[in-house]
Structure formats: C-alpha cells, structure tokens
C-alpha cells in the first residue's frame, strides 16, 4: 500500500475547505445517559454511529477518545475500529486520542496499532505522550512519516495538573513544554504547507506569549465549550499561530444529540464562531 499524502498537507486542505473544527467522540457514561442510551456496547455503537453519520461529511476532524471504547473490552474496540473506518470513508480526518507513550519495541507496537496503513485502527493521526523523553517517540515519528500519518504530542495541556511537569524548568533554562515545542518545530522544518507533527496546547491556558507556538505544524486545542474557553479566546491564547489551531469541542456539540440535525447545527455554530475568530486575528 502506497503512503498517503502527508497528514499536514491533508489537514491544511481540510481546514481550508471545512474550517478547522475538531469534534470529539467521547461516549462517557453520563453522555450516553443524556442521549437515553444504556451504558453498554449497544449504546456505545449507537452513539458513535450517530456522531459519524451527523458530522463526518462536514467537519475537518473527528477525534474519538479511545478510553471510552476500551472500557468495554474487545467489543468496544470493534466499535472504535468501525467508527474510525467509517469516519475516514465519509471524508473526515480521524485523530485517535489514545495518548500512548512508551519506549523501544513497546512504542513501536503502539505506533503499529494506530499508524500502520493496514491496521484495523489506522488513523490519520494519534495523540502521544513525550514524558518518557521526546526521543522515546522515535518509532511513532518514523512510522508516521512512512505512512503519511501525523502525531499530536502533549505539550501544554489544559488540565491544571499538567503545569507541574510542563512548566518545570530544565537545567538549560527552558521549560519542558518549550522543549517539546522545539522538538516539533525541528520535525516540521521545511514542510509545506504544514508539517505533520503537532502539539496539544490547551485553549484555556491564557497568555502563552512566552512560548514559541510557531512549530510549522498544527496545534490541537482542547478546552472550548465545557472547559470554559470560547472561540473568541483563540487569538489571545495562540497569537500569530492561530491559523494552525485545530480547536476541539466535545460536549458543546455532543450534548445536542442524539438528533442528527441538532448535532450538525451545533457543529456549524461552533465552526462559524471559530472561523470568524481566526479570520479576525
């Protein structure tokens, strides 16, 4: 199987054509209940199928959270496989949010599970954790380059606890978060129109002017909606890098289900607000 066009190029085109919105597929128990679904595999499948049907042909990116599928065991993973495949077939780029991170052959195996083109869970990109050292991600970086996939590396996350690691200052005077961003900038050097190695940077973090977010790659930005950030915050948080931001909204859209038209309407409203904020920046 020949490799895909690089993820960064495919993402840039999708963002330009559909807008930059990323909608999470987060079937946690409380949301299943809000939809009137049971917290079982049948409810999981109904939820995921509805989100894919409503949005995969309309938004740039869908981001299933692997944990909410894994909790149902092999049957849940089968639903995840089907959701990823059907979303990609309908035209959305799929970022599987699994936050994998390990060393050596184990990291290579995680990469093969999500980034090998003939793998059942093959995704356009995968979230990964660099906190065993950025170099531990080398197997995933290499396979992503080979297959045309991408990575989103945790850098400056929206959870309050993240700061104790990510803002820690190294011996060279640079924070851990800044070091991760510098590695990603090196991965993306010279890539056009956009590199394939992105960072996860929370939209709730306020002024990040002390960080160089110009990594020539995408910035996946959780935190809009239920976590308190709004589309209007994007330019303040991301500054000149805002054009490369992929804002993620989950509950703000998903709570409008299970009605397909309501899901689409919510996604369209967020997409319009995000587009207006990015254009005005």
Cα gap 191→25, rounded to integer Å: 30
Cα gap 47→162, rounded to integer Å: 30
CATH superfamily of 7-164+191-205+217-280: Aldolase class I (3.20.20.70)
To the query of whether residue 99 is one of the catalytic residues in this protein, the response is yes
Helix (H, G, I), strand (E, B) or coil at 180: helix
User: What is the model's pTM?
Assistant: 0.97
Which residues fall within 8 angstroms of residue 274, CB to CB, at 6 or more apart? Answer: 19, 20, 21, 224, 231, 234, 247
User: pLDDT truncated to tens, each residue of the chain (281 aa)?
Assistant: 557 999 999 999 999 999 999 999 999 999 999 999 999 999 999 999 999 999 999 999 999 999 999 999 999 999 999 999 999 999 999 999 999 999 999 999 999 999 999 999 999 999 999 999 999 999 999 999 999 999 999 999 999 999 999 999 999 999 999 999 999 999 999 999 999 999 999 999 999 999 999 999 999 999 987 778 899 999 999 999 999 999 999 999 999 999 999 999 999 999 999 999 888 87
Residue among 127, 54, 51 nearest 96 (CA):
127
Catalytic member of 99, 116, 236, 243? 99
């Amino acid at each position: 199987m020949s490799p895909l066009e690089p993820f960064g190029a495919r993402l840039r085109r999708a963002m330009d054509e559909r807008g930059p919105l990323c909608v999470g597929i987060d079937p946690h128990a409380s949301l299943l209940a809000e939809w009137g679904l049971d917290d079982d595999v049948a409810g999981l499948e109904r939820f995921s199928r509805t989100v894919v049907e409503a949005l995969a042909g309309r938004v740039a990116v869908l981001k299933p959270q692997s944990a909410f599928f894994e909790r149902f065991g092999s049957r849940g993973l089968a639903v995840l496989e089907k959701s990823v495949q059907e979303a990609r077939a309908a035209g959305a780029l799929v970022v599987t949010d699994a936050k994998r991170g390990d060393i050596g052959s184990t990291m290579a195996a995680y990469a093969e599970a999500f980034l090998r083109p003939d793998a059942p869970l093959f995704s356009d990109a995968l979230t990964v954790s660099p906190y065993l050292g950025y170099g531990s991600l080398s197997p995933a970086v290499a396979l992503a380059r080979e297959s045309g996939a991408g990575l989103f590396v945790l850098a400056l996350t929206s959870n309050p606890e993240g700061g104790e690691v990510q803002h820690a200052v190294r011996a060279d005077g640079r924070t851990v978060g800044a070091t991760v961003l510098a590695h990603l900038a090196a991965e993306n050097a010279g890539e056009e129109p956009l590199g394939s190695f992105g960072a996860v940077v929370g939209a709730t973090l306020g002024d990040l002017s002390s960080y160089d977010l110009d990594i020539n790659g995408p910035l996946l930005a959780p935190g809009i909606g239920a976590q308190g950030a709004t589309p209007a915050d994007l330019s303040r948080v991301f500054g000149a890098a805002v054009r490369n931001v992929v804002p993620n909204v989950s509950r703000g859209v998903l709570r409008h289900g299970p009605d397909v038209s309501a899901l689409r309407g919510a996604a369209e409203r967020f997409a319009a607000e995000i587009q207006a904020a990015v254009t005005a920046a």
